[in-house]
């Protein structure tokens, strides 16, 4: 029995026509499929968001539970996920005020019924995007992923350029 072949990478820029000006909870269709947002928005017009290109995600500050997750499975039993990466930062005035937001990556292999945390939490404190890479996963599909804030962040968390390999 050989090693599972890697699936074609999945890349999501969190860009779509449905930008908003309020934090929303619900399902949204993006380029890769349906994603669920919890107190999250995609806002293109605000230059204070840390993002690549025209859009990215912003999660609300001063509340717990903000998250975004895949409503679809990636890969199958013959494919293996080795890493996930995501660009992250904080809203401009939150950086100036020295506010932070911690977030974590989770995976599910039962269509989102249960979630398992991957590695350590990541702390965002800069308005310049950084990339968090969670490597050495060796997960066999089907699998889905979730990004969620930890605790109650004092900063608005920006996320962009999600990549599964």
Percentage, residues of the chain above pLDDT 90: 75
DSSP line for 36-96: EEEEEEE-SS-TTS--STT--EEE-SSSS--EEEESS-B--TTBEEEEEEEEEEE-HHHHH
Q: Where are the domains of the chain?
A: 10-164
pLDDT for the residue 117: 98
Q: What is the mean pLDDT of residues 67-85?
A: 94
Q: To which residue do tokens 């005035």 refer?
A: 93
CATH number of 10-164, picked from 3.30.70.100, 3.30.70.20, 3.40.50.2030, 2.60.120.260: 2.60.120.260
Q: 147-159 pLDDT, tens per residue?
A: 999 999 999 999 9
pLDDT band at 47; cut points 50, 70, 90: confident
């Amino acid at each position: 029995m050989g090693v599972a072949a890697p699936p074609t990478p999945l890349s999501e820029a969190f860009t779509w026509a449905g930008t908003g000006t309020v934090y929303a909870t619900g399902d949204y269709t993006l380029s890769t499929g349906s994603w669920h947002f919890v107190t999250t928005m995609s806002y293109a017009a605000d230059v204070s968001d840390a993002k690549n290109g025209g859009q990215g995600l912003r999660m609300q500050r001063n509340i717990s539970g903000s998250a975004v997750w895949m409503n679809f499975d990636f890969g199958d039993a013959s494919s293996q996920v080795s890493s996930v990466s995501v660009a992250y930062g904080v809203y401009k005035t939150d950086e100036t005020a020295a506010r932070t937001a911690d977030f974590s990556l989770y995976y599910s292999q039962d269509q989102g019924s249960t979630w398992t945390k991957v590695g350590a939490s990541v702390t965002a404190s800069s308005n310049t995007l950084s990339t968090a890479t969670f490597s050495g996963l060796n997960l066999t599909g089907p699998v889905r992923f979730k990004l969620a804030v930890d605790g109650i962040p004092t900063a608005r968390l920006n996320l962009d350029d999600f990549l599964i390999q």
